[in-house]
Amino acid sequence: MLKGELKVEKNARYFVLGSESKSIKKVWLVFHGYGQLANFFIKNFEQIDDGETLIIAPEGLNRFYWKGFSDKVVASWMTKEDRGKDIEDYVNYLNVLWDSIQKEYKIDTASITLFAYSQGTATLCRWLLQNNIQPKNMVFWAGTLAHDIDFELLKSKLSGTKAVQLFGDKDEFYKPEQLKKLKEFIDKKELEIDFKIFDGGHELKSEIIQELHSS
């Protein structure tokens, strides 16, 4: 059996909160997790839509029914099947999206926050290392750093960036011993990431989002 491949155009979507005015001081690019849609995920950030913040939520290119054939529709960034091509596709998509955002909105002087939740964390890592964006803040929430990246390059990208990795102490996907190993891994790689544990599960906390936006 021979495997064939060809490139095709594909429609990708994203959602935006905020004004197109000249008053944009902050830009948040927020990456959803596995089994979510960007139009619902972005609602977690309505509280920081203050007239000076632009929030953009890209959506994974793979949509599917959560259960069976008629349940809610959700999206993912990649699966294990032909994962290399999925990564290539979403990196290309995010590059095109970021170029479009810079052209469409007046964000030259705005501070950039890259925010990733769950599966979106690995997505953000891989994309970050393949472009020249220099964010002021990075938030890795309830997700691990991609295991297959150049950590020396990530270390240099984090220089001058305020980065934090957050996990709930009751997260059903990460046991205490796993979180301990993750913290040890960050320390071993000498990554400038503030590792924090909050009271909660595999979830977003509005009060923490507000705190991060205010800092």
Q: What does the alpha-carbon distance between residue 39 and residue 94 come to, in Å, rounded to a whole number?
A: 17
Using the 8-state DSSP alphabet, how is residue 204 labeled? Answer: -
pLDDT at position 60 is 97
Round to whole Å and give the CA distance between 6 and 86: 13
Stretch (H or E) spanning 198:
strand 193-198
For residue 90, what pLDDT is reported? Answer: 96
As a whole number of angstroms, the distance between CA 148 and CA 126 comes to 9
CA distance 93 to 112: 19
Block residue for tokens 């021979």: 2
State how far the Cα of 163 lies from the Cα of 66, in Å rounded to an integer.
Answer: 32
pLDDT along the chain (215 residues), means of 10: 88 89 88 97 96 96 88 92 92 96 90 97 95 93 94 92 96 94 94 96 96 92
Residues facing residue 162 across a β-bridge = 137
| Predicted pLDDT at 199 | 96
CA distances from 2 to 89, 114, 152 (A): 22, 40, 38
Residue 39 contacts residue 75 (beta carbons within 8 Å): no
Give pTM, 2 decimals.
0.94
Enclosing H/E stretch for 74: strand 73-76
Helices (H), 26-175: 38-41, 83-104, 120-128, 151-157
Q: Which domains does the chain have, with CATH numbers?
A: 14-214 (3.40.50.1820)
